[in-house]
Amino acid sequence: MKPLQIVFLGTAASVPTRDRNLSSIALKYSGNWLLFDCPEGTQRQMMATNVSYMKIKYVFISHFHGDHFLGLPGLLATMSMHGREETLTIFGPKGVEDYIKKAVELSMLQINFQINCVQIKSGRILKEDEYEIKAFKLNHDVPCFGFVFKEEDKLGEFKRDKVIKLGIPEGPLWRKLQKGENIIYGEKQIRPEDVLDLSKAKKGKKISIVFDTRANYSYIEAIKESDILIHEASFTEELKKRAIETKHSTALEAANIAKEAKVRKLYLFHISSRYKDPLEIENEAKKMFANSYVAKDLLKIEIL
């Protein structure tokens, strides 16, 4: 299992404040950064932390409201000016290619690396060697998605010495065994249980990010038993009417989702600028789900 890092680059809803930039999350795994939403000001938030914009491999845009993606043209320009050559893949709802094209054209940017745009649909949108990203529909006033980062489960501790002793060369065969598949090597069948200490099985970490939405049970299944749920909480219950009108969630509603989904820990973000004291939000959530916290900008969480 590799260390996983989450950085809250911004935690404000709609309008930034002195203390909170617009909402954006960076997640580091295996040396690469994944960026979830990229509002205005995101690149400077990165500069104030250890998030390397040159090492962003994937960008996920939840929806195309300005306060969730207007930092993208500037970020692309900065990457290009600093000599980026690697392809960047940008995931977004329907129209993603057109949005990115228009944003780049409007800014008169010259981008010297390849950008691939991928339209998000519900379900798995990315599979990498040791993790996958799934998207699920949210309930906002334009098509909007939430995301699950799921690390691969480990069936057991890999007995490296034994595998070497068996003469199996490092590479695809090792991966197969680690994933629980039988292999044939030198006319001999080798079973995963021969080379895995099954007593040391470990579930992969699961991180769920819920952007702009009316909290509801439609996405409970997707985020179930997350180690960390990051959920929008634009308002408190006092402004529930406004939450309903604008298709956002209250802190209590987000906490209820956390409870129903049996997550381990809840971080609230996307906080309306009217809340000067984050405890207003936090305390409301804690009533429903004790392990609730309001994230602040540049908060870094390391999960080993």
The site for its own copies (CB under 8 A) is made up of: 14-18, 21-22, 39-41, 43-44, 47-48, 64-67, 70-71, 73-74, 77-78, 81-82, 99, 102-103, 106-109, 142
Q: Shortest distance, CB of residue 273 to its own copies, whole angstroms?
A: 8
Q: Shortest distance, CB of residue 19 to its own copies, whole angstroms?
A: 9
Q: Output 22 or 229, the one with its CB closest to its own copies.
A: 22
Q: Output 109 or 239, the one with its CB closest to its own copies.
A: 109
Q: Output 106 or 184, the one with its CB closest to its own copies.
A: 106
Q: Is 67 a catalytic residue?
A: yes
Q: Output 11 or 21, the one with its CB closest to its own copies.
A: 21
Q: Output 103 or 303, the one with its CB closest to its own copies.
A: 103
- Alpha-carbon gap, residue 42 to 99, rounded angstroms: 18
Residue of 165, 164, 191, 161 lying closest to 178 (CA atoms): 191
Q: Shortest distance, CB of residue 298 to its own copies, whole angstroms?
A: 12
- Alpha-carbon gap, residue 30 to 4, rounded angstroms: 8
Q: What is the DSSP string of 56-109?
A: EEEEE-S---HHHHTTHHHHHHHHHHTT--S-EEEEESTTHHHHHHHHHHHTT-
Strands 292-294 and 265-269, bridge-based pairing: parallel
Residue of 36, 25, 28 lying closest to 60 (CA atoms): 36
Options 67, 212, 227, 297, the catalytic residue: 67
Q: Shortest distance, CB of residue 118 to its own copies, whole angstroms?
A: 20
Q: Shortest distance, CB of residue 78 to its own copies, whole angstroms?
A: 5
Helix (H) / strand (E) element for 155: namely none
The residue ranges of DSSP E strands in 142-297, in sequence order, are 145-151, 157-158, 183-185, 188-190, 196-197, 206-210, 228-232, 265-269, 292-294
* Residue 20, both tokens: 């909170």
Helices (H) and strands (E) in the chain, counts: 11, 18
As annotated, the active-site residues are: 67
